[in-house]
Structure 1
Amino acid sequence: MRSAADPENSAEQQSDQGLRADAERNRDRILCAARRLYAAEGLDVSMASVAREAGVGKATLSRRFPTRDDLITAVFTDRMDAYAGAVAVALADPDPWHGFAAYIQAVCAMQAADRGFATVLTMSFPTAKALEKRRAEAYHGFLELIARAKATGHLREDFADQDMIILLMANAGVVAATADAAPNAWRRLVGHMLRAYSTPGTELPPLEPPPTPTALYRAMIRLNRSTSAGDVGRPVS
């Protein structure tokens, strides 16, 4: 029996440690690559593209993340935590209407900052249990936020939680279409929607100025090119 001090034993331990370190580095490279691609291009990015961006083989990617949902979960868990945390912050606001409005703005800002997360918020991932658990927590908190805001008389009685999903879908579309051409266009959309959700006389945040005609023209040209290339309106596989 070899002792722990045996040179051969020591070499085996160093080899194991080296393999673990390599595996961890590969995992970090994959996650960084996926974050970059998802943020810039949305979730319609192939696993092969992620492997190529990370500089690893497809087999290495598959060992670390066997399915697309596994990779999405690893990439967006922290963002989904922030999403759920935004509800808690809103509920802690002593002014329920202010908390509601701030929450709407915060979530839409998260979408604007990351195209991949913009899509995650409008889709369901049944096998990504960690993501779906946090989404469920945020949803139940949002229901309470709605009830409190309505009790103040500032949120319209006909506002429904489904309206938030509609807004997130609309905002995701605006973010994807305007991108760098009119990066604040989403803020104007959110401002108008808060005005639609509120009762007359409710205090509202200032409305973002509209994009310039030139900025909108650039956005329309970009959207037309993306649509022609098949990047917009294609279901995520």
Structure 2
Amino acid sequence: MVLPEVEQSRLPRRRDAQERRQKLVAAAQGEFAVHGVDASLEKIARDAGVAIGTLYRHFPTRLDLLMVAFRPRIEDFLGGAKRAMEMDDPWEGFVYYLENLFGLQAGNRGFNDFLSRRFTNSSETEQIHDQMCRQIGEVLARAQDSGQVRPDLTQADIVNLIWSNGRIIDATSSTAPNAWRRHLYLALDAYRAERAHPLPEPPMTNQQLYDGMVRLSTLE
């Protein structure tokens, strides 16, 4: 079938727009990985070879661009919980979940930021963070029910570990890029049920945890 002349003229424009979008996503992935979620949008546009107005036509907000740029990592991250829950040994599933999570965190400063913060003006990111918290709870509860993880460990304790791991990654990424794994396994030893001792401070509440993640979004 031969397309009408008007339709034929639109096809190159559509291809050009798609190519520009792909270049913007690739440039954003590079900039966010190195400089975090607050990376310069102007620099991303320049790297993609387009004007800043073109970037905003494709991605009206920073979060729109973030979500597309991080989509592959988000899918890997959320898929890690499913694989963890399918493992026969709940402890091995718990370890796998955290190591997969922190490995994704370590390889990308922007994704590190995304995991640590709450973006309250985006229902999409709120849903992803809510899903993350549910996954942490499920993987943790399964390991606790098996008697392998100390019963007083909470979801907030795991998010605190994400925060501390993020700072380790920031400090060591160029000098000792795998240092985070030592810190993780030291923490895992402390999480074993047989290592449990009474703690001097109660866990954070869900609201305190949420407020902390929101505050990180306003500090930087």
TM range (shorter): 0.7 to 0.9
Give 2:53's aligned residue: 59
Aligned mates of 1:33, 1:5 — CA distance in 2: 36
2:127 is equivalent to residue 133 of structure 1: yes
SS of 1:126 mapped into structure 2 = coil
Q: Is residue 2:211 matched to residue 1:235? A: no
Q: Which string of whole-angstrom CA distances, capped at 9 and with x for unpartnered residues, describes residues 68-87 of structure 1?
A: 01111111122112111111
Partner of 1:17: 11
Alignment length (residue pairs): 199
Q: Is the 8 A contact 1:122 1:169 kept in 2?
A: yes
> How far apart, CA to CA, are the structure 1 residues paired with 2:135 and 2:92?
15
For residues 26 and 151 of structure 1, do their structure 2 counterparts lie closer, same or farther at Cα, with a shift above 3 Å needed? same
Q: By how many angstroms is 1:5 displaced?
A: 6.6
SS of the residue corresponding to residue 125 of structure 1 reads: coil
Pick one of 157, 160, 163 that aligns with 2:151.
Answer: 157
Partner residue in 1 for 2:41:
47
For 1:182, give the aligned amino acid: A
Aligned equivalent of 1:106:
100
- The alpha-carbon distance between structure 1 residues 5 and 187, as it changes in their structure 2 partners (threshold 3 A), is closer
Query: Any residues of structure 2 matched to 1:184-203 within 5 Å, and which?
Result: 184-200=178-194
- Higher-RCO chain (CA-CA 8 Å, sequence separation at least 6): 2
Distance 2:110 2:154 in 1: 26
1:96 aligned partner, one-letter code: P
| Matched-pair contact (CA < 8 Å) for 1:77–1:130 | no
Q: TM-score, normalized by length of structure 1?
A: 0.78
Q: Is the 8 A contact 1:175 1:186 kept in 2?
A: yes
Q: Please say if residues 175 and 183 of structure 1, whose CA atoms lie closer than 8 Å, have aligned partners that are also in contact.
A: yes
Corresponding position of 1:207: none
Pick closer, same or farther for the CA change 1:155–1:5 going to 2, 3 Å: closer
Q: Secondary structure at the match of 2:193?
A: coil
Percent of matched pairs sharing the same residue: 33
Instruction: Note the aligned Cα RMSD (angstroms).
Output: 2.1
Task: Show the counterpart of 2:142.
Answer: 148
The answer as to whether partners of 2:118 and 2:129 remain within 8 angstroms in 1 is: no
Given that residues 35 and 75 in structure 1 are in contact (C-alpha distance below 8 angstroms), is that contact kept between their aligned partners in structure 2?
yes
Q: How many angstroms apart in 2 are the aligned matches of 1:51 and 1:131?
A: 23
Q: Give 4+ residue runs of structure 1 displaced > 6 Å after superposition.
A: none
What is the one-letter code of the residue matched to 2:88? P
Does the 8 A contact of 1:84 with 1:135 survive in 2? no
Whole-Å separation in 1 of the counterparts to 2:219 and 2:8: 47
Distance change >3 Å, CA 199–CA 37, structure 1 → 2: same
Matched with 1:80 is 74
TM-score of the aligned structures, taking structure 2 as reference length: 0.84
Higher helix share: 2
Q: Deviations over 1:91-133 (max 9, x none)?
A: 1111111100111111000111111111110111234433432
Asked if residue 69 in structure 1 is aligned to residue 53 in structure 2, the reply is no
Q: Distance in 2 between matches of 1:119 and 1:138?
A: 14
Residue in structure 2 matched with residue 223 of structure 1 by the alignment:
none
Query: Once the two structures are superposed, what CA deviation does each residue of 1:174-230 show, in whole Å capped at 9, x if it has no partner?
Result: 11111121111111111111111112379xxxxxxxxxxxxxxxxxxxxxxxxxxxx
Counterparts of 2:162 and 2:100 in 1: how far apart (Å)? Answer: 12
* Alpha-carbon distance in 2 for matches of 1:29, 1:72: 14
Distance 1:5 1:189, change over 3 A: closer
Distance 2:19 2:2 in 1: 28
Change in Cα spacing, 1:14 to 1:197, as seen in structure 2 (3 Å) is: same
CA distance in 2, matches of 1:104, 1:136: 17
